[in-house]
Amino acid sequence: MAWDDRDYYRSRESGGEYLGNPALFFGFSLPFGRWFGVPVRLSFWLLLTLLFMVIDILRGANAGMVVIEAALLIAMLLVHDFSHRLFAQRVGGSLDEFLLWPAGGLIHPTAPPAPLPTFIAHAGGIIGNFFVGALCAIGLIALHAGRLLQDPAMYNPLATQFGMLRSLSNPFAFPMTFLLWTVLQINIGLILVNLLPFYWFDGGYLLESILWPWLNRFRAINVTCIVGMCIAAPMLLFSLYGMNLFGMVYWALLFASSFSKRRELKAGGEESFAYSAAAYESDRPTWARRKSARTARGAARAMATARREQEKIDAILAKVHASGMQSLTWSERRTLSKATERQRRK
């Protein structure tokens, strides 16, 4: 599908559409330029997150601190999606446009219809965030951050997911620690959220690819949706019990996403997955073809080695013919002796 054909791109052309159907606001996105040739857009959900951060400034938060956190959040989301793009391309897939939201990218990478490529393509974002987070953790250790832990929240890296909460009472007293700690917190949040087994996140595709070899793809998706609903339902009840409005909306939407995915799966039927998998397997080298290719490569290497040895023997014999055996070095005599012994065994 072309960039201009996507719903969230077309919907920006007419403001009247949003007034006629307020639900379109959830699909609104804002262009954020091209990064290394990839078009990037900020989704409604990320813009809403940034709006809450601006409100935080109006309520008295340090403006510079909030701006830095917002910039770092967007930077880590770009790291997440560029990691997806890199890993997807390595397995024959792609990710040609980014639609950022607070949990990574709303556009998932494509991959060949097989378990391992699917797993690698969707694990790429998590691996990228883990790598950056590990570097930040090493940096904090190198700065002997123990003397800087003046706020109890610093002991809980989960307390500031997505950079929304303050973790240091006076962050600019230790700017490098503030930057490293904020990036670490954002990356921990992205990793944990994307491990959840829902198709909004990478976790749904990861669980599907793990189950795929034991079940077929149709059943793997079905089980993944059931697991998601089994997690979302009790969490929704806990949110209702605690009167947590955000939790109620969050888990209700996740439950609905798994339920809708499973209903679409049942409507499409198992046959809809058979063709793509069969086509991929027909193009994929079989075990016999791979073994034959390895044998051919081994034979070619053996022939090349034999040819080089024969050229060396011919040069030695030419030297013997011209100057006699006494002109040979110890190494040449040994090479000639080995060749004679091999010829005798043959």
User: How do the pLDDT tens digits run along the chain, 346 residues long?
Assistant: 444 444 444 444 444 444 444 445 567 888 998 988 899 999 888 998 889 888 888 888 778 888 889 999 999 999 999 999 999 999 988 899 999 989 888 889 988 888 899 999 999 999 999 999 999 888 888 775 455 455 544 444 444 443 433 444 455 556 787 888 889 989 999 999 999 999 999 999 999 999 998 888 888 999 999 999 999 999 999 988 888 888 888 889 899 999 998 898 888 777 666 545 444 444 445 444 555 566 667 677 777 777 777 787 788 777 777 777 777 777 777 777 777 777 777 6
- Mention every residue, 6+ apart, whose C-beta is less than 8 A from residue 99: 8, 29, 41, 43, 105, 106, 107
Name which of 164, 160, 265, 172 is nearest 223 in CA terms.
Answer: 265
The reported pLDDT for the residue numbered 20 is 45
pLDDT at 88: 92
- Residue 259 covered by a domain: no
Q: Is 243 exposed, middle or buried (0-12, 13-18, 19+ CB in 10 A)?
A: exposed
Contact 69, 89 (CB under 8 A): no
Range of the domain at 310: 287-345
- For residue 310, being part of any structural domain is answered with yes
pLDDT value of residue 273: 61
User: How far is Cα 261 from Cα 286, in angstroms, rounded to an integer?
Assistant: 33
pLDDT given at position 63: 83
Which residue is listed with tokens 């606001």? 25
Asked whether residue 315 is assigned to any structural domain, the reply reads: yes
pTM of the model: 0.67
20: in domain: no
- With beta carbons less than 8 A apart as the criterion, state whether 262 and 225 touch: yes
What is the reported pLDDT for 159? 47
Q: Which residues pair with 29 in a beta bridge?
A: 43
Lookup result for tokens 């959840």: 196
pLDDT of 12 reads 44
* 340 assigned to some structural domain: yes
The torsion angle over the Cα atoms of residues 239, 43, 164 and 140, rounded to 10 degrees, is 120
Q: Examine residue 322 and state whether it is found in any structural domain, yes or no.
A: yes
How many independent structural domains does the chain possess?
Answer: 1
